[in-house]
Amino acid sequence: MHELSIAEGLVAEACRVAAQHRARRIDTVFVKAGALSGVEPPLLQRAFTVARAGTVARDARLLIELGPVEVFCPQCGAVSGAAVNRIVCQACGNWRVEIVSGEELILSRLELSEIGEEREQPCVTPADAP
């Protein structure tokens, strides 16, 4: 399950940002996941619960926004949506398209609290533990 390593990376980055802002708590982690990102949202949610334990994100919520697949068609110049299992130009039917969006996995936003105070919890993920 690669979602655990992804969740650990999200928590590590969120903790890094929280430390920069001297936040004692991470309340919400917002992620944008494209339909072709290879991430299963329910599995990522469960993995996030494990990865956040013992960090300033220990009570954080993970909110995942699912993004659409969009393609560019070099034949007709159209940018259109595409289904995950049918990646073709919606305008002309060409299958030789370039994916514009849908493969991304982006940590888009964090909600932090208790800003400007000394951190009491370490920012350690299970992967960092001895």
Chain segment 61-93, per-residue pLDDT in tens: 999 999 999 999 999 999 999 999 999 999 999
Q: What confidence score (pLDDT) does residue 117 get?
A: 56
Going by pLDDT thresholds of 50, 70 and 90, the confidence category of residue 116 is confident
CATH, domain range 3-67+101-115: 3.30.2320.50
129, pLDDT greater than 80: no
Q: Which residue type does 31 have?
A: V
List for the chain the helix, strand, coil content (%; round to 5): 20, 35, 45
pTM exceeds cut of 0.75:
yes
b/e per residue 27-42 (b: at least 16 CB within 10 A)? ebbbbbbbbbbebeee
Q: What confidence score (pLDDT) does residue 130 get?
A: 45
How do the domains of the chain map onto residue ranges? 3-67+101-115
Chain segment 19-37, per-residue pLDDT in tens: 999 999 999 999 999 999 9
Four-CA torsion 97, 99, 100, 101, nearest 10 degrees: 150
